[in-house]
Structure 1
Amino acid sequence: MPYRLAWLILLAAPAAAHADELVIYRCTDAAGALTVQNMPCPKGSRQQVKRMPALATVPMAPTASKPSAAPAATPAAAPEETPAPTSAPASTATAERLPPPNLFRCTTRDGGGYLTEDSEPASRCEPLQTTGLDGNPQGGAGQACEMVRDTCARVPDEGLCEAWKKRRDEAEVAWRFTRADTSEKNKAEFERMQRILAESACGG
C-alpha cells in the first residue's frame, strides 16, 4: 500500500537531518535607525551578527498517489533583544570663556584719572584764564583754551575684571542718579557693561 511504503521510507531516513545556521543581522545606520534583516548590512552601517541553530526538519518523500504534506513550519526563535544603541552623551565641557575687552587707564593733567575703552582718547580743549591789559583777571576779554591729550596705559590682564566692574558700577550710578533725559542712554550703557562681564571670564 502506498501510505505504508511512504512511512517505511520515512523511518529509514537518517535521524540527523540537514540543519542550517540562522543568521540575523542588526543594522544601525548613521542616523541611528535600527533594522533587522537576514542579509549583511549596507555599507556605512554598524552591524551586529546573531547566529542561531535552525530547527532540524526531515523531508517527506513524495508518493505516487498523493503528495506528502509539507511539515508545519516552526517559527524561528526571535533573536535576543538588545538595547538600541544610544548616542554618546553630549560633552558637558563648555568653551573656555575669554577675558573681557581691553581697558585703558588715563591720567589727566591735573592728576585725575578715568577708565576708557579707547587706547587714544580724543584731545580736548581746556579753558585758559584770560586777563586784561592791566593784568586784572576780571577784565579779560574773550575766551581761550589749550588743546591737551591725556596719558593712557593699558590695564594689565590681572586687573581687567576689577576695572570692568568699577566701570560698570560707575555706569549704574550715572543711570540711577542723573537727569531723566539721559536715563535711557545711561541705562543702556550699564546693561552693555553688565553683559560684557557676564559673558567673559570675569563671570559677571
Structure 2
Amino acid sequence: MRHAALPLLLTGLLAMPPDARADDEVTIYRCTDAGGALTLRDTPCKAGEAAQVQTMVRPRDPPPAPAAPPAPAPAPATPASAAAPPRVVYRQPPRPLYECVTPDGETYTSETPEGNPRWVPLWTLGYPAAAYPGGHYRARVDTTSGSVSGSVQVGGGHRPRPPAGVVGYPAGTWVRDACSALPQQEVCARLRDRRYALDRRYNSALQSEQHAIVNEQRGIDARLANDCGD
C-alpha cells in the first residue's frame, strides 16, 4: 500500500506552491526505515533511516492561454422594405358580362351592352316603303349612332329584300337587343360552364377546331384567374 501511494506523494510534492521552495529545484528524500518501509518526503530522513536524496526541477504550469477575442456583434437586421423594393402587382378590374334578349325571346351573353346590333330596313319595323325609278338608291350611314338615312340599292344579297311589289325602301336602322349586366358571381359561373363545355367538345372536335378551342380556353382561364380568383 505504501509503494502504491508513492506516485501520488511525489506528485503532491512537485505540485507544492512556490513559497515552499527556495528556488526552481526540488529535493526529494527517499527514506527506508528498519522495517523496510519506503517513504518519499521533502524533508531529510529520520535518524536510523536509509536515505536517498534526488534533486529535480520544479515543474511549472504552462502560461495561460490568451483569452478568446469577443464575438463580433451581430449586424443589425435589415428591414424587409430596405432589402428589396416592394412588389407592385397591377390587377385589372373584373370585366362585366351582359345578358341580352332578342325580340323573339332568345337570350345570349355579350361582352358589351350593345349585344349583337343588326341593320334592318325600316319597312321591317312597319314604316312605309317607296319605290324609286332606276332601281339604284343611295344611303348615308351615321358611324356614331349606326342609323341609316336615304335609300339603298335594291337586290343586295347581304341585306333584306323588300316585300313583293316594293321596288325600294328609303332607309334602314340598327336594331339593338336589350342587354343587362350580370352579377360577378353569375359571370364566374357562366365562364366555368363555358370552360367545361369546351373540354367536352374538344375530344370530338376536328384538329382545326381544337386549336380554336384551346385559344378560347386560355382566354377563359386568364379571366377566371383575374376576375374570379381561380
TM-score, normalising length: structure 2: 0.37
